[in-house]
Amino acid sequence: MQRFSGKVAMVTGGSRGIGAANARRLAGEGAAVALTYANGEAQAQSVVDGIVSVGGRAMAMRADNRDAAALEAAVERTVAELGGLDILINNAGIFPSGTIEEATLEELDRTIAINLRAPVVTAMAAVRHMPEGGRIITIGSNLAVRVPWPGISLYAMSKAGLVGLTKGLARDLGPRGISVNVVHPGSTDTDMNPADGELSDPQRSLMAIPRYNEADDVAGLVTWLAGPEGRSVTGAEFTIDGGANI
């Protein structure tokens, strides 16, 4: 099933975890995919090579989410080399931890720049090229909705801000037929939060279905929103966390 044949997607932070799963899933259904990375060049190239090896089109670009000019340049290069931009997946992010007494202004600024400002910057650049039917999907977090433990104030703040951004962009871009949504994963088995890590059992204890997401579980939901079935869904939040936020 090639429902994204002829479409071009850009995935920020696409070298590993949820970002890589999104890149592979979109490419597997026919999209040409550009992905960005900050440090993991070898990992990003591995994702690209895997896509190309089965006949897909993909490219990787270094673009730190703190660098607005680099993000804008990545959008322009995607359009120039892949022929357009139909789907933007804002995925790149960091997870700062520590109580507010331990937080620094530098950490606050870095969190806002990477987790919140960057999705605004990429959206501003992308919509200059998006046709009717375009999609913007941002990876938030179930911690934007409920914070079960201390020490994640900056992270929760930055992810909660994406909800307001999503709703505002949905209103701005709806007349052009562009949908904007946010997906809130819960605990997901990645190198940042492995399912067998020392903090995994407390996370599972919150869930109605006590199992970690696989990255591809999240990518499946994102792909549905990006596809034709999601054309009337906009300004919405989708939580995929095993019922941790019930």
Q: By CB neighbour count within 10 A (0-12 exposed, 13-18 middle, 19+ buried), where does 73 fall? A: middle
Whether 244 maps to a domain, the answer reads: no
Encoding tokens for residue 114? 């990477």
Per the confidence metrics, is the pTM higher than 0.85? yes
Look at the block and give the residue holding tokens 């936020």.
Answer: 245
Q: What is the pLDDT of residues 182-225, one digit of tens each?
A: 999 999 999 889 999 999 999 999 999 999 999 999 999 999 99
| Percentages of the chain per state (helix, strand, coil), in multiples of 5 | 45, 15, 40
Distance CA 225, CA 201 (A): 31
Overall number of domains in the chain: 1
Whether 242 maps to a domain, the answer reads: no
Residue 144 sits in a domain whose CATH number is 3.40.50.720
Whether 28 maps to a domain, the answer reads: yes
Encoding tokens for residue 174? 């709806």
Distance CA 105, CA 109 (A): 6
Phi, psi torsion values for 78, nearest 5 degrees: -55, -50
Nearest to 2 by CA among 50, 49, 56, 79: 56
Whether 241 maps to a domain, the answer reads: no
Whether 217 maps to a domain, the answer reads: yes
Tens digit of each residue's pLDDT, the chain (246 residues) = 689 999 999 999 999 999 999 999 999 999 999 999 999 999 999 999 999 999 999 999 999 999 999 999 999 999 999 999 999 999 999 999 999 999 999 999 999 999 999 999 999 999 999 999 999 999 999 999 999 999 999 999 999 999 999 999 999 999 999 999 999 999 999 988 999 999 999 999 999 999 999 999 999 999 999 999 999 999 999 999 999 998
Whether 240 maps to a domain, the answer reads: no
Phi, psi torsion values for 225, nearest 5 degrees: -65, -35
Catalytic residues: 155
Q: What is the pLDDT of residues 20-31, one digit of tens each?
A: 999 999 999 999
Encoding tokens for residue 228? 């034709």
Q: For residues 225 and 181, is the Cβ–Cβ distance under 8 A? A: yes
Q: Which domain holds residue 25?
A: 8-235
